[in-house]
Amino acid sequence: MTRLGRTFLLLLASIGLLIGAEASAAEGPLVAAAASTRAALEDVAARYLEATGESVRLVFASSGMLAQQIENGAPFGLFLSANGAYVTRLANAGWTRGAPVVYAGGVLALFTRHGLLDVNTKPLAALRRALTAGRIERFVIANPEHAPYGSAARAALGDAGLWEKVRPLLLLGANAGQAVQYSIQAGVDAALVPLSLARAAALAQLGDLQLLPAASHPDMPLHQVMVMLQNSDVATQRFFEYLQSTDAQAAFIHHGLKLPTLALE
Amino acid sequence: MLTVSLEHDHPKLALDFQLPRGQVSAIVGPSGSGKTSVLRAVAGLLSTRSARISLEGDTWADTERGVFLPAYQRPLGFVGQRYALFPHLSAVANVAAALVHLRGAERQREAQAGLDAVGIGGLASRSPSALSGGQCQRVAMARALARKPRLLLLDEPFSALDRSTRKRLHVELKRLQAGLGMTVVLVTHDLDEAAQLSQTLCLLRRGRVLQSGSTPEVLRQPASVEAARLMDFSNLAKAEWVGTDREGATLRWGELVLRAATKVVSKPGATVSWTIRSSDVFLVKDGHPDESSLGILASARVTEIISMGGSILVTVSVDHSGGEPLRMRLRPGAVHRHGVHVGCRLRIALHPEAVIVLA
Amino acid sequence: MDWSALSLSLELAVWTLALLLPVGILIGRWLARTEFRGRPLLQAICALPLVLPPTVVGYYLLTFMGARSPLGTAIDAWFGLSLVFSFPGLVFASLLVNLPFAVLPVQRAFEGVSQELHDAAACCGMNPWRVFARIEMPLAWPGVLSAAVLTFGHTLGEFGVVLMVGGNIPGETRTLSIAIFDRIQAFDPGAAGRMAALLLLISLVTVALGYGALEGRARRGAGQG
């Protein structure tokens, strides 16, 4: 082996080992949470750290993906899903511990580029008009197959009789987060995304953000449900309880979620 | 003595021969005759269906008893057609590579001495890519001889070299072999090279031995029509055997009676093949003082003349003969002097010593 | 800058290289030197990860190694080890996915050592081990170096399989490429950009050093004349 090659490998090995020595060993509860709750949960975790000195490891992905990972043995201790159905599935297969808790409600927001919709008109009616006039070329939602916000968006559009019109224009985000990502970058005309993520991504600066009327989309699918998993420990239990405290609920509301049975403030 | 007995299917081999110790033996054959395979089998690089190979009593391969020494365990040296020098090692390192039983300074010394012995000691630190063909061949030779092997195998080692280099290396080889007294087996398709270098000659064709014996004997007396063809006897004809006496045999070629100084015996009336070298068909000048000493005289007509630089090939049709044309090799001067041209008539002589009867 | 992610990426790359290179040399040499009936099939299998989408590989690994699979449960029972959502699982997946990079260049390199050289070496009295160490390896070295550089670089950038098999667990399976993706998901392009630039720099330096070593060798070889 050349001297150069030898030195190179040694260098790499040392880097790896040195930094590895610094890297934190496994610590803190491992929490799997729906991507749409990122901003809210990061805030809650910060507050928890301040209050108790304990840090929490958060992993965000679409609820469906997380559920599948848990079923394949992912070592999460706590699961925060954007859809109750996934929690039920996990419970039936024996992966959960204790009863699930509805800790918040999701809110769907309609994002449109500036000037797309007529002002002073109800959002869905304005949407219908824009669609009929052909002013919309791209419409983003999260994938209805496994993202709860996606299926809620589909349900809302369906209820308003707009699904067939929107369908050929759809750009699907793999999860709610990606849907927002597309809204920022992909030059979309309209999107139905979680309010929590829209706020985190400051979508209001890039276009118009409106809430859909509460009655326009069935509440059930957007219940944010959390449950402890078989892998959990005492520290996880503590965090689980903190998530149900008023402190945490204040954070949820601040970041675009609502409390389960209360109206949005 | 090197004893070789091989049987194999791909390529087809079925042979059994022995080569004397301490001499240069040549294995000659056309391409596809299996001669390289034979050499590789002797080297231990090819394992055949059935084999019995031994050198001076040491058995290197014996399929019946389940013995097969791999090449690296046989005390031999091998030089191939394309030298196969290790490209990442210098010349002296190439030679040193073969000295597996030595270490450090001693190894270096021996390797340098090996290069000196083949006359290129000054090129020790050169890499093979910086050496000429002849120099590479010398390094390959030094490497093959480094372990002072009992057997040296050469697979057409000179065929990729130009003529003058080849001639120089021929001399080197003879010198080395004489000095070391080792057994050398040289595989070549060049009969002239074999004739110059070897004491024993073995003719190979399609995996079989056609003829084997001392080189001058084999060259002079082909044992069969196939052997004659291999050795480039261009004149082949058939004749009727008449009888034999103390001085040789009498044949009837058509109506022409021939005498041949041969030990071959056949039955009267049987058909035999005979041949004569093109250089032995003599052109008889008018007014030759002692014509009868030249051999059997006959008249012939020239049918074709081909000029091949230093010699002219003249094909003649001999009167009253069996009909096969004979080819004569003449000097350009002779052709001019006698005004030989297509269609002209001339007289030829066939000396009994030159007429070879094939078994 | 997620230092833990960087260290994970480097560790993964170094482990993969250290474990896979000997395997690559063994298999590569075997494929180059031995003729046997199943050879084309084995070559195809070694090349397979090149054409399979990483997510497909990840999917199969989850299915066969995950907590629900017989193999996964067995390994957990015997060794207390999980091959999914863990660093060892990443290493295992990485070994599979990088197999073509470790085998193919090595195979080509050993194929380049002609039969004539092998014959000559054997006739010099060199036993097979010596031939391997003194003749084959020095001549095949550029191929081995290529394999090392490719394997290392490819592992640094590996995303699809790591995401499927590792999840995104901080300190355990959140490699740099995953962290970059995660930052993008969090609408933090600044952090993502910084980490991406670092990854690019490391990859570039790796490949450059590799080629530099190859070049240096070629120059030394030519200069000997």
pLDDT digits (tens, 9 = 90+) for C41-97: 999 999 999 999 988 888 898 888 887 788 888 888 888 788 888 899 999 999 999
Residues B72 and B214 in one domain: yes
Nearest CA in chain C to B101: C125
For C166-181, what is each residue's pLDDT tens digit?
A: 988 998 899 999 999 9
- C138 contacts B88? CB cut-off 8 A: yes
| pLDDT (0 to 100) of residue B81 | 86
Residues B273 and B214 in one domain: no
| pLDDT (0 to 100) of residue C44 | 92
Q: Give the count of Cβ contacts less than 8 A between chain A and C.
A: 101
- C4 contacts A23? CB cut-off 8 A: yes
| pLDDT (0 to 100) of residue C224 | 39
| pLDDT (0 to 100) of residue A22 | 40
For A206-255, what is each residue's pLDDT tens digit?
A: 888 988 876 666 655 578 899 999 988 999 999 999 999 998 999 999 99
For B42-88, what is each residue's pLDDT tens digit?
A: 999 999 999 999 999 899 999 999 999 999 999 999 999 888 999 99
In this prediction, residue C120 has a pLDDT band, given cuts at 50, 70 and 90, of very high
Query: Per mean pLDDT, which of A18-27, B238-247, C193-202 is the most reliable?
Result: C193-202
Radius of gyration of chain A measured on its C-alpha atoms: 21
Residues B121 and B6 in one domain: yes
**Å from B139 to nearest chain C CA?**
12
Residue C2 has pLDDT above 60, yes or no: yes
| pLDDT (0 to 100) of residue A8 | 56
Is chain C touching chain B, with at least 3 CB–CB pairs below 8 Å? yes
| pLDDT (0 to 100) of residue A214 | 67
Q: Tell whether B129 is within 8 A of chain C (Cβ).
A: yes
How far apart CA B129 and CA B136 sit, in angstroms, is 9
Contact of B247 with B353, CB cutoff 8 Å? no
CB nearest to B77's CB, from C123, C130, C221: C123
Q: Which residues of chain B are within 8 Å of residue C225 when distances are taken between CB atoms?
A: 126-127, 129-130
For B86-103, what is each residue's pLDDT tens digit?
A: 999 999 999 999 998 898
Residue C6 has pLDDT above 80, yes or no: yes
User: Residues 18 to 77 of C: which have CB under 8 A from any B CB?
Assistant: none
How far apart CA A179 and CA A197 sit, in angstroms, is 10
In a domain, C154, yes or no: yes
CA atoms within 13 A on the CB side of B354: 19
| pLDDT (0 to 100) of residue B268 | 87
Residues B218 and B271 in one domain: no
Q: Tokens 């049918």, residue?
A: B303
- C125 contacts B130? CB cut-off 8 A: no
CB nearest to B100's CB, from C119, C125, C224: C125
Give the neighbours of chain C: at least 3 Cβ pairs within 8 Å: A, B
Q: Tell whether B130 is within 8 A of chain C (Cβ).
A: yes
- A13 contacts C14? CB cut-off 8 A: yes
Report DSSP state, residue A258: B
Residues B179 and B242 in one domain: no
In a domain, C225, yes or no: no
CA atoms within 13 A on the CB side of B278: 19
- B147 contacts C123? CB cut-off 8 A: no
| pLDDT (0 to 100) of residue A262 | 43
Report the helix count and the strand count for chain C, using DSSP H and E. 12, 0
In a domain, C168, yes or no: yes
**Amino acid symbol at A71:** E
Please provide the average confidence, as pLDDT, over all residues in chain A: 84
In a domain, C81, yes or no: yes
How far apart CA A124 and CA A264 sit, in angstroms, is 19
In a domain, C224, yes or no: no
CATH number at residue B339: 2.40.50.100
Residue C108 has pLDDT above 90, yes or no: yes
Domain end among B226, B245, B267:
B226
Q: Tell whether C187 is within 8 A of chain A (Cβ).
A: yes
Listed residue (B322, B177, B176, B157) closest to B251, CA to CA: B322
Nearest CA in chain C to A10: C14
SS3 B96: helix
Nearest CA in chain A to C68: A72
Q: Tell whether B171 is within 8 A of chain C (Cβ).
A: no
If one compares C110 and C185, the residue with the highest pLDDT of the two is C110
- C119 contacts B72? CB cut-off 8 A: no
Averaged pLDDT, C14-32: 94
| pLDDT (0 to 100) of residue A3 | 55
What is the residue range of B207's domain? 2-226
Residues B323 and B219 in one domain: no
| pLDDT (0 to 100) of residue A21 | 44
Q: What is the dihedral of CA B331, B337, B338, B344, to 10 degrees?
A: 90
Contact of B274 with B355, CB cutoff 8 Å? yes
| pLDDT (0 to 100) of residue C82 | 83
Nearest CA in chain A to C141: A1
A17-21, A80-84, B4-8, range with the lowest pLDDT: A17-21
Q: Name C138's bridge partners.
A: none
- Length of chain A counted residue by residue: 265
Contact of C209 with A10, CB cutoff 8 Å? no
CB nearest to B126's CB, from C120, C124, C225: C225
**Å from B171 to nearest chain C CA?**
24
Residues B68 and B157 in one domain: yes
In this prediction, residue A43 has a pLDDT band, given cuts at 50, 70 and 90, of very high
| pLDDT (0 to 100) of residue C73 | 84
Q: Which residues of chain B are within 8 Å of residue C121 when distances are taken between CB atoms?
A: 72, 86, 97
CB nearest to C125's CB, from B98, B125, B130: B98
CB nearest to A73's CB, from C6, C17, C67: C67
C-beta atoms surrounding B297 within 10 Å: 15
Longest dimension (CA), chain A: 75
Nearest CA in chain B to C137: B88
Number of domains chain C is built from: 1
- A27 contacts C171? CB cut-off 8 A: yes
Number of domains chain B is built from: 2
| pLDDT (0 to 100) of residue A265 | 29
SS3 B182: coil
CB nearest to C6's CB, from A19, A38, A178: A19
Radius of gyration of chain B measured on its C-alpha atoms: 25
Q: Tokens 């004809």, residue?
A: B237
Q: Which residues of chain C are within 8 Å of residue B101 when distances are taken between CB atoms?
A: 125
What is the residue range of C35's domain? 3-219
Q: Tell whether C126 is within 8 A of chain B (Cβ).
A: yes
Q: Tell whether B43 is within 8 A of chain C (Cβ).
A: yes
Copy the structure tokens of residue C130: 């010596």
Domains defined along chain A, listed by start: 27-105+220-254 (3.40.190.10), 108-216 (3.40.190.10)
Residues B350 and B245 in one domain: yes
**Å from A154 to nearest chain C CA?**
22
Residues B172 and B314 in one domain: no
In this prediction, residue B267 has a pLDDT band, given cuts at 50, 70 and 90, of confident
In a domain, C132, yes or no: yes
Domain end among B203, B226, B249:
B226
Domain end among B226, B254, B281:
B226
Residues B214 and B165 in one domain: yes
In a domain, C17, yes or no: yes
CB nearest to B143's CB, from C119, C124, C225: C124
Q: Tell whether C74 is within 8 A of chain A (Cβ).
A: no
The pLDDT > 90 percentage for chain B reads 48
Q: Give the count of Cβ contacts less than 8 A between chain B and C.
A: 79
CATH number at residue B138: 3.40.50.300
Q: Tell whether C217 is within 8 A of chain B (Cβ).
A: no
- A178 contacts C185? CB cut-off 8 A: yes
Residues B243 and B222 in one domain: no
CB nearest to B84's CB, from C120, C221, C224: C120
Q: Which residues of chain C are within 8 Å of residue A31 when distances are taken between CB atoms?
A: none
Q: Which residues of chain C are within 8 Å of residue A38 when distances are taken between CB atoms?
A: 185-186
**Å from A13 to nearest chain C CA?**
6
Please provide the average confidence, as pLDDT, over all residues in chain C: 90
CATH number at residue C83: 1.10.3720.10
For A121-169, what is each residue's pLDDT tens digit?
A: 888 888 888 888 888 889 999 988 877 888 889 988 988 889 999 999 9
How far apart CA B283 and CA B349 sit, in angstroms, is 7
Residues B336 and B262 in one domain: yes
Residue B203 has pLDDT above 90, yes or no: yes
| pLDDT (0 to 100) of residue B262 | 81
